[in-house]
Structure 1
């Protein structure tokens, strides 16, 4: 009985740990703190056994905690948290011992066992490292104090493992330059290559070696069998017709993703239920288009998908020491490393299940700077992923290296069994009364949120003080103010007008179809007409300032026209919000 209770307790703790790890991966510091409090003692025990010094063990665990917190976002499998963390503790302990732990005793290489010396090819790095590894292993078995020899053995084995990440030619050039001390000119003559190519190879090799060393130190190196496996799979995406597209690429890609799962949604309904049909956000600095993207990505995307009947997993992060685009949206993401193993298992998992992965692409084709995309295939042989691009109907490819080095990392996978992929929208025509009531309730929530956002603005506030935004109806005033002061950015203006003209068109389309009745429906239709007029004014603005790459300044005459368009659009949208407020009052009366 006691054994059974102990087993149930262990299982409960493991389940709680998984939840804490998932929260920690998404930047929840409180969850990480709880997790560490549970397992700190065991980690300290590992460090103390390795060093024999309790004070050094405390320092090692502290260092390991910092590394684990910085890189927990790169951990793909939450169930592997403890082995991963213990590996970091061991690596930190080994580093301390190499620097000068209680067992440090230096010996010259000449004092090592020379039984294998006659078999060493001193021109071959593998042969040299193999000899040193064997010598260290032999010394560890025969000496009274083997710790230093074992550490050296591990070091040489690590060097050998790291060097195997290079191609044959990269390795040859790297060894010639760093170990044989040949000059780039000599290496170029030896390989019959331009000197510039040698520098390119050396730069590439340094980067690959650095990344490979980080993989090993964090325990992210794939199993040997996995390294040899080259896989490829490309999903067949269904056609995405022009009438279904929206300039809000997040909702556009979610719509295409759900269509690929056999659950096609009407884009107007997606725009209305998600709230993006009614949003507007303008930077307080100038008419940059970044406000379109600044909101709580994790909460918003999870909430939108949940509203549509889906659960999701999110993998996100920002690279250290890299300029991160859209910092106002990404600043709460955990700091991660440019390691492809931190992303590819996530992508392979969902592609193998037949589900594309929602991805934020910072390599979007011009005139876009960055946009949402779907990854729908991968190719290990070519080392590329296949993804959508707004300007390339045929799709495009980006390398695993570019994928890993994207400074803003955000991927979303749809969870659940395939049987769960059924339309989440209840139909009033053939559904139950409860289903119809649920649809009305969902519509009412969407309308209430549209009014709240218009009147109060976006709740999300960047932590970075110099990045501030105005949202809701007040965003029109901020936009007009930029034009009046002459501080408008023409390129950003083009994208803002293009996107918000499209959102208001979908707001009108959504409200025409809502499942309301009587006076509430009449008011919703009046709001729809007002949004249609606002969309027309913004579309005219988009025609005046098209979304194209241009450094041309806005003339005084053009700025005056733009101000007039925006003033008119605001008047119509203010009227639309007023009609929606009255519709809510009618719904409350009915209740």
Structure 2
């Protein structure tokens, strides 16, 4: 039995190692063998660092190790069906990594690690090769690959070379004409970036940018070709399409600073379901949420919830189905790790994203998209993606900082380190009025009853969603106010000025939405009176947070807060907490007056 040593020096190939480490992989391996890409992504996440350690020990070169692991994982994905014993996944993966490393190390010559095409030579005869012409080089490489494969004593090496040569046309044709020309000059003609800059009348820095971009595109194209995915080709085949939906006008009074819910409201509005934003904020509980980082006044607490479940539950509450595509990019640092750490690991290939976008837009339905390249003062926010253009390779989307919207390249969408796209499916149960008035009122009463009970529970007990990453900790509910005040008054904590501005802006707006929602709650008698009192208290909490927002506007700044300013901010937060605590007390009494009521 083959014995494989992991990074910690333990055995993973023997019986005890298999029981300890590969036993937990069996279900994932079995699912991956059936074509489950999410299961394969989990396997990558668990074992990529171990595979890289194997490769680096074999080669002594960390850069070469990265390439070897990338190729090994692609081959593992393509050949998962050949793994008969699911308990032997790690030894099987180690064998693939070892074979890939040996193939790389057997390549001789002065350019062993990155061999330029000009160093291949023209062979023993045959047609002349113009090494300054790209197509001539490609034809030569493809032609000689078959001959070398027939004579090579190492079948694995010859197969690798043959596969590489035969796919090189597809790889290079993913570049634009200018990128291709610069790539050809640099790699085939061996010109320096300075010489190429003179040739194209560009700066040397721009040439380096083109080369870097070309490498990135070629790497993505290599993944696509290796996985057997065909890119959409331009021209003559009817596949070049564009579709830009006309979003209804979105007035300021309907918007909310919680962009997750603002996007959902716009998705529903686009398909003719025009609901009040306060209703959506209330029923989804975002009007009542508050979460503050335990480390400082960072704004990341705003995003710490289960995105997929929140979208799905909100859609379900209003009679829709949800379609969600999510993931975190392999080998790419993901912001907001605590929120996306449960997302599957995904590869940066177009075919895993663009069909989802086209499908829903072609049905007349925009998508909720998490944008990590929003304009200042934002860092990342949810936007509405409402159009695509295959010819220009761009999508159209909203941006909180740009009322007119913006465009983004396909490459930027694919390279987004956080993949989150969500769409509405189906029609609401009663949008066409088939449900009777009494039924609809009963449904509104049920939602309101559920909302106030969950709002009280959240205030008292906090949020159930907790990040798995140890160093990420947050405080939620009424206790979040105490944490916030502690950051402002604490001697050993430096409040984050930028995050403070965003927290104040978002939570002030949320409390206004809470007040609006409760004013329209369909209760009666004492329950209605108490709910209106709670609404007034939330309004006052919103005013206190609004004063904080006015004193500390949401701008990109790293300025430090002086002690006096910190204390003034703490007073505003303290006032807001007192009003919200009173609001929660009124809601508790309203629930008591309703008795057990309807809690479904």
CA displacement 1:137-169 (0-9 Å, x = unmatched): 467789999876555432211222211112233
Counterpart of 1:216 (choices 220, 225, 235) is 225
Q: Is the 8 A contact 1:317 1:410 kept in 2?
A: yes
**1:473 equivalenced with 2:478 (yes/no):** yes
**1:205 equivalenced with 2:214 (yes/no):** yes
Secondary structure of the corresponding residue to residue 467 of structure 1:
coil
Distance in 1 of aligned mates of 2:296 and 2:586 = 31
Aligned counterparts, 1:121-520, within 5 A: 121-137=130-146, 151-222=160-231, 229-416=239-426, 420-421=427-428, 431-485=436-490, 487-520=494-527
Note the aligned Cα RMSD (angstroms).
3.8
How far residue 497 of structure 1 moved from its aligned partner, in angstroms, is 1.4
Secondary structure of the corresponding residue to residue 379 of structure 2:
coil
Distance in 2 of aligned mates of 1:543 and 1:111 = 72
* Distance change in 2, residues 1:550/1:195 (3 Å): closer
In the superposition, the TM-score normalised over structure 2's length comes to 0.78
Which residue number corresponds to residue 25 of structure 1? none
Q: Is the 8 A contact 2:452 2:587 kept in 1?
A: yes
* Distance change in 2, residues 1:100/1:289 (3 Å): closer
Q: Is the 8 A contact 2:372 2:380 kept in 1?
A: yes
How far residue 409 of structure 1 moved from its aligned partner, in angstroms, is 1.8
Q: Is the 8 A contact 2:348 2:414 kept in 1?
A: yes
Distance in 2 of aligned mates of 1:335 and 1:383 = 24
Distance in 2 of aligned mates of 1:412 and 1:31 = 31
Aligned counterparts, 1:12-51, within 5 A: 34=27, 36-37=29-30, 40=33
Counterpart of 1:566 (choices 568, 573, 581) is 573
Distance in 1 of aligned mates of 2:41 and 2:460 = 47
Secondary structure of the corresponding residue to residue 587 of structure 2:
helix
How far residue 251 of structure 1 moved from its aligned partner, in angstroms, is 0.9
Which residue number corresponds to residue 111 of structure 2? none
How far residue 190 of structure 1 moved from its aligned partner, in angstroms, is 4.1
* Distance change in 2, residues 1:574/1:344 (3 Å): same
Distance in 2 of aligned mates of 1:64 and 1:439 = 41
Distance in 1 of aligned mates of 2:444 and 2:208 = 63
Q: Is the 8 A contact 2:32 2:80 kept in 1?
A: no
Distance in 1 of aligned mates of 2:169 and 2:374 = 38
* Distance change in 2, residues 1:135/1:481 (3 Å): closer
Counterpart of 1:526 (choices 529, 533, 545) is 533
Q: Is the 8 A contact 1:302 1:312 kept in 2?
A: yes
Distance in 1 of aligned mates of 2:367 and 2:510 = 24
Q: Is the 8 A contact 1:541 1:565 kept in 2?
A: yes
Distance in 1 of aligned mates of 2:350 and 2:193 = 30
Q: Is the 8 A contact 2:318 2:428 kept in 1?
A: no
Secondary structure of the corresponding residue to residue 127 of structure 2:
helix
Q: Is the 8 A contact 2:131 2:188 kept in 1?
A: no
Q: Is the 8 A contact 2:270 2:365 kept in 1?
A: yes
Counterpart of 1:545 (choices 552, 556, 569) is 552
Distance in 2 of aligned mates of 1:549 and 1:86 = 46
Q: Which moved more, 1:166-175 or 1:181-190?
A: 181-190
Instruction: Report the count of equivalent residues.
Output: 524
Secondary structure of the corresponding residue to residue 276 of structure 1:
coil
Secondary structure of the corresponding residue to residue 503 of structure 2:
helix
* Distance change in 2, residues 1:145/1:465 (3 Å): closer
How far residue 459 of structure 1 moved from its aligned partner, in angstroms, is 0.6
How far residue 269 of structure 1 moved from its aligned partner, in angstroms, is 0.6
Secondary structure of the corresponding residue to residue 220 of structure 1:
coil
Gaps of 5+ in 2: 1-21, 49-74, 83-92, 109-119
Q: Which moved more, 1:159-168 or 1:569-578?
A: 159-168
How far residue 223 of structure 1 moved from its aligned partner, in angstroms, is 5.8
Distance in 1 of aligned mates of 2:213 and 2:274 = 44
Q: Is the 8 A contact 2:42 2:344 kept in 1?
A: no
Secondary structure of the corresponding residue to residue 247 of structure 1:
coil
Q: Is the 8 A contact 2:40 2:77 kept in 1?
A: no
CA displacement 1:80-106 (0-9 Å, x = unmatched): xxx99546779x9998777669xx999
In the superposition, the TM-score normalised over structure 1's length comes to 0.79
Q: Is the 8 A contact 2:234 2:240 kept in 1?
A: no
**1:584 equivalenced with 2:577 (yes/no):** no
How far residue 179 of structure 1 moved from its aligned partner, in angstroms, is 2.7
Q: Is the 8 A contact 1:426 1:435 kept in 2?
A: no
Distance in 1 of aligned mates of 2:500 and 2:148 = 71
Distance in 2 of aligned mates of 1:520 and 1:63 = 52
Secondary structure of the corresponding residue to residue 170 of structure 1:
helix
Gaps of 5+ in 1: 1-28, 44-61, 72-82
How far residue 539 of structure 1 moved from its aligned partner, in angstroms, is 1.5
* Distance change in 2, residues 1:152/1:513 (3 Å): same
How far residue 449 of structure 1 moved from its aligned partner, in angstroms, is 0.6
How far residue 541 of structure 1 moved from its aligned partner, in angstroms, is 1.9
Q: Is the 8 A contact 1:139 1:146 kept in 2?
A: no
Q: Is the 8 A contact 1:268 1:507 kept in 2?
A: yes
Which residue number corresponds to residue 56 of structure 1? none
* Distance change in 2, residues 1:237/1:38 (3 Å): closer
Greater fraction helix: 1
